Structure 1
Amino acid sequence: MRSHLRIPERFSGTKGRIVSLAVIIILIILLPLVANNYVKEVITNAFFYMILALGLNIVIGYAGLVDLGYAAFFAVGAYTTGILTKAGLNFWLTIPIAVIFSLIAGVVIGGPTLRLRSDYLAIVTLGFGEITRITARNLKITGGASGLVGIRKPSLFGYPLTHSSDFYYLFFILVVLAAIVAFRLHNSRLGRAWQYIREDEDAAAAMGIDPVRTKLYAYMLGAVFGGVAGSFFAVKMTAVSPETFAFTQSAMILMAVILGGMGKLAGAILGAMVLVLFPEVFRTIGQSRQLVFGIVLIIIMIFRPQGLWPERRN
């Protein structure tokens, strides 16, 4: 007997995406078994930028705000973990402390400035990033211009995390967790409030949404992503330097979000991957790879101004 049942197109498309995602995850898990240390380090660095891009995407993509000093939150997490681990505290116990300090940093930058808009907000966030870097460079507790060195690598259930494969899997797990949190936020009531503010702040206020408080939540949650990423960065590199958190770092993270597509979770991940992998693929051409990379970015912005994987807006 012939069946007349048909599978709705949206369900078949969802099934295809699930299968594709499962294949990608399996390949990522198996990659360290065949890749050398160089490849694993590059992919781990891409994972790291994915976490930062997902955090900044909450601020820029979801809420439509401007942040040119996002590396400051990354610095807060890195220095908090670096200082506490050198003082003898277990790495895993430093993470909630780094989260708290990152939240405080988000409130400090967001509270007084979120009534500003456009260029004024951009200038304030840029200044905050530079103030954080310069402060870290001049404080004794942060190691001054030399930074912190000799940060101990962590262990998990008695197993020391020292090999490149260990941090590869650790950062991959962090990306998965960050993506889940970002996805849930985007589809939550708070996420919808961010989208309303992004599209029309005055209309959102007329609907009963508190723009300042709602935007502050975006800064705080974005700061948490940056702080956690900074904590793991510190123990992976075993050193933290003020120059790591220069404006160029914030610009790189911002570029990843814009390149992938602001407001799109998958876009932030794709943008970070392209930003890290492209220069490495063309490393054989020497310094010219930066020129080629810049030309490719210009071409993408001309023909795909909304990013490689833009958010669909009704």
Structure 2
Amino acid sequence: MSWAYITTVLIMTGINLLAVIGLSVLTGFTGLFSFGHAGFMAIGAYTSAILTVWLGVPYYLALLIAGLAAGLISLVIGRLTLKLKGDYFIIATLGFGESIRLLFNWFDPIGGSRGFRIPSEIHYTSLSDVIIINLIALILIANLINSRHGRNFKAIREEEMASQVIGINIFRYKMLSFFISAVLVGIAGGMLAHLTHFLIPRNFDMTKSTFLTIMVILGGLGSLSGSVIGTVVLTFIPEFLRNFNEWRYVIFGFLVVLVMVLRPKGLMGGYEISDLLRWVKRRLVRRRGEKNESA
């Protein structure tokens, strides 16, 4: 493997991670499953591409506007769908994602099904771009989750009725969660557009949404550390299995099923790496105390 190839895989991992962090806020911490977030990624991708190619907007500003565009659309979709329960909400998000894909597929000014090409002189997403943006996102989301708002998200996930009884505005917090997830996924779409420099609607289908959701679940619902681990594992494994051709998808699927059988709550099981480190520290202190007593 060449260094250029490894760098590209690392950048792709970072792009997936930003999208998974966003989806984790909605699914992992608020308990809402969405299979339409590829639609928000498409909105972010096409928005940033149009801004940089047609209007000459700087890369980072284009990413920010792309994220906000996805977020604004999420406010409209959320107002229409967030009062739906369970499977009905999932079906609604699935319909939204496919509608966005078909809309871009039919819209000729941005290439339609033929795709939209970004000229080579436009900024390419680099590894440093991905690292900077993901670090900012992780810090912001970690602080949010550990705040009062984050505790309200978790309360809604665990028991919606009880949360309403104690005065939590369920709809407002669901809207906030949906908005944050869409913004981050939209920014990830913008970074993807400037990595590939070519956009085609079929890359933002239900398979993409499902893949992002699997990353959240595999890592562990309600765990940012799990989101990181799940993303790294599920982005790198297919690349390592590339030499197996068609069989790589069979092997990949088997490995995912095996992990879910052995770890039904995901690799981190809702815990963070910091929780694991505290547990190890307590074990070491206890063992040291037992040795001192026996001596």
- Using the size of structure 2 for normalisation, the TM-score is 0.87
Cα distance, 1:93 vs structure 2: 2.9
How do residues 251-266 of structure 1 correspond to structure 2 at under 5 angstroms?
251-266=210-225
RMSD: 1.7
Aligned position for 2:161: 202
Q: CA deviation at 1:154?
A: 4.6
Q: By how many angstroms is 1:285 displaced?
A: 2.5
Deviation of 1:153 (Å):
5.3
Match in the other structure for 1:21: none
**1:11 aligned residue:** none
Give me the whole-angstrom Cα distance separating, in 1, the residues matched to 2:119 and 2:246.
32
1:71 equivalenced with 2:38 (yes/no):
yes
For 1:49-198, list aligned pairs within 5 A.
49-90=16-57, 91-151=59-119, 154=122, 167-198=126-157
- Structure 1 residue matching 2:9: 3-state secondary structure: helix
* Residue type at the aligned position of 1:182: I
Q: Distance in 2 between matches of 1:245 and 1:269?
A: 21
Partner SS for 1:79: helix
Name the structure 2 match of 1:224.
183
Q: Does residue 294 in structure 1 map to residue 253 in structure 2? A: yes
2:67–2:185 Cα contact (<8 Å) kept: no
Distance 1:43 1:217 in 2: 30
Deviation at 1:150, TM superposition (A): 2.6
Corresponding residue number in structure 2 for 1:39:
6
Give the structure 2 partner of residue 304 of structure 1. 263
Task: Please list every run of 5 or more consecutive structure 1 residues that lacks an aligned counterpart in the other structure.
Answer: 1-33, 156-160
SS at match of 2:126: helix
Relative distance call for 1:51 and 1:193 in structure 2 (3 A) is same
Structure 2 Cα separation of the partners of residues 224 and 145 of structure 1: 25
Length, aligned pairs only:
271
In structure 2, the gaps of 5 or more residues are: 273-295
Q: Structure 1 length normalisation: TM-score?
A: 0.82
**What letter corresponds to residue 266 of structure 2 in structure 1?**
G
Name the aligned partner's letter for residue 55 of structure 2: G
| Partner of residue 275, structure 2 | none
2:273 counterpart of 1:284: no
Structure 1 residue identity aligned to 2:169: D
In 2, the alpha carbon distance for the partners of 1:71 and 1:153 equals 27
* Structure 1 residue 272 displacement after superposition: 0.7
Asked if structure 1 preserves the Cα contact closer than 8 Å seen for 2:53 and 2:122, the reply is no
Q: Which moved more, 1:189-198 or 1:90-99?
A: 90-99
CA distance in structure 2 between the aligned counterparts of 1:293 and 1:228, rounded to whole angstroms = 28
Give, as a single letter, the amino acid of the residue that structure 1 aligns with 2:4: N
Equivalent-residue separation in structure 2 for 1:43 and 1:186 (angstroms): 26
Per-residue CA deviations over 1:176-227 (Å, capped at 9, x if unaligned) read: 1121122111111111111110011111011111101110000000001011
**Contact map agreement 1:86 1:152 (CA 8 A) in 2:** no
Q: 1: CA distance between counterparts of 2:28 and 2:199?
A: 29
Residue identity in the other structure for 2:244: I
Separation in 2, partners of 1:43, 1:276: 9
Cα distance between partner residues in 2 of 1:210 and 1:235: 38
Q: What letter matches 2:78 in structure 1?
A: G
Letter in 1 for 2:28: G
Please state how far the C-alpha of 1:142 moved relative to its aligned partner: 2.6
Residues 151 and 234 of structure 1 are in contact (CA less than 8 Å); yes or no, is this contact kept in structure 2?
no
**8 Å CA contact 1:153, 1:236 repeated in 2:** no
C-alpha deviations, 1:259-302, integer Å up to 9, x for none?
11111001011101110111112223332121111111111111
Aligned to 1:4: none
1:82 shift after superposition:
1.1
Aligned mate of 2:196, from 224, 237, 252:
237
Structure 2 vs 1, CA of residues 209 and 80 (structure 1 numbering), >3 Å: closer, same or farther? Answer: same
